[in-house]
Structures are given as structure tokens and as C-alpha cells.
């Protein structure tokens, strides 16, 4: 861990003396998307501190917070997608507020995946 990251974590801990400034959700998740037969794109999503390596961590964490880490509870967004079949298989695994979570599903194409899962698998 770099000294900058350590200093940032210490500063965050000091700032967390009041509940309003502290993250209320802790998550350490592995997110993967496989398009067709290609190699998976992966990211680490950590909610509560640095976001991990996920490119849209804030939006992904916000969505997961609304469903308490259970992505299967997300009703999805409204929108129209083409009928093109280019399967996208997604997986999420790790911990959410101290409990193990997992999600695995295949969608007909990227548009359908994004409507159903928001920013979580937008890698």
C-alpha cells in the first residue's frame, strides 16, 4: 500500500468521528462481464472508501445500496434494446456489509444487461 493511500485512510478515519461523514456501506466485490466468447472484463468494487478499480464505482455502489447488496432485487430500468443476440454473462461475488453475496446471469446483449443492472457491470 502506498504512503498516499495510507495517509488517505488515516484522514478518512479521523473524519469519521461523526456518523454523517462516514460511509454506511462496506463492500468488497469482484465484478466480471464476459461478452460472447471473449475474455472477461473484471473490476474490484469497494463501496465506502476508494471505489476499487471499477470505472463507475459511485453509481454502482449507489444502486447496490438501494437493494442492500442483492442485485436480484433491482427492478431494472425502462428502455428499448435491439433484438441483436450477443450474450453478456455477468457475475458479482464478495461481501456486502459483512455478508457474502453473489449474482450470476446472462443477458441477450449489452443494452439488456445495462437496463437490468445499471452501472454495476458497466465496465
User: φ, ψ for residue 105 (rounded to 5)?
Assistant: -160, 150
**Each residue's pLDDT expressed in tens, for the chain with a length of 123 residues:** 443 333 333 333 333 433 344 445 688 999 999 999 889 999 999 998 777 899 999 999 999 999 999 999 999 999 999 999 999 999 999 999 999 999 999 999 999 999 999 999 999
User: φ, ψ for residue 5 (rounded to 5)?
Assistant: -65, -40
Q: How many residues does the chain have?
A: 123
User: φ, ψ for residue 69 (rounded to 5)?
Assistant: 85, -5
Amino acid at each position: 500500500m502506498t504512503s498516499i493511500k495510507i495517509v488517505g485512510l488515516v484522514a478518512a478515519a479521523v473524519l469519521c468521528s461523526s456518523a454523517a461523514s462516514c460511509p454506511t456501506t462496506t463492500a468488497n466485490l469482484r465484478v466480471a462481464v464476459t461478452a460472447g466468447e471473449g475474455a472477461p472484463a473484471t473490476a474490484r468494487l469497494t463501496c465506502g472508501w476508494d471505489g476499487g478499480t471499477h470505472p463507475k464505482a459511485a453509481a454502482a455502489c449507489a444502486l447496490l445500496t438501494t437493494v442492500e447488496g442483492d442485485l436480484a432485487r433491482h427492478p431494472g430500468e425502462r428502455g428499448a434494446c435491439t433484438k441483436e443476440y450477443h450474450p453478456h454473462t455477468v457475475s458479482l461475488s464478495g461481501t456486502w456489509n459483512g455478508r457474502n453475496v453473489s449474482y450470476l446471469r446472462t443477458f441477450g446483449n449489452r443494452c439488456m444487461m445495462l437496463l437490468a443492472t445499471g452501472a454495476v457491470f458497466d465496465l
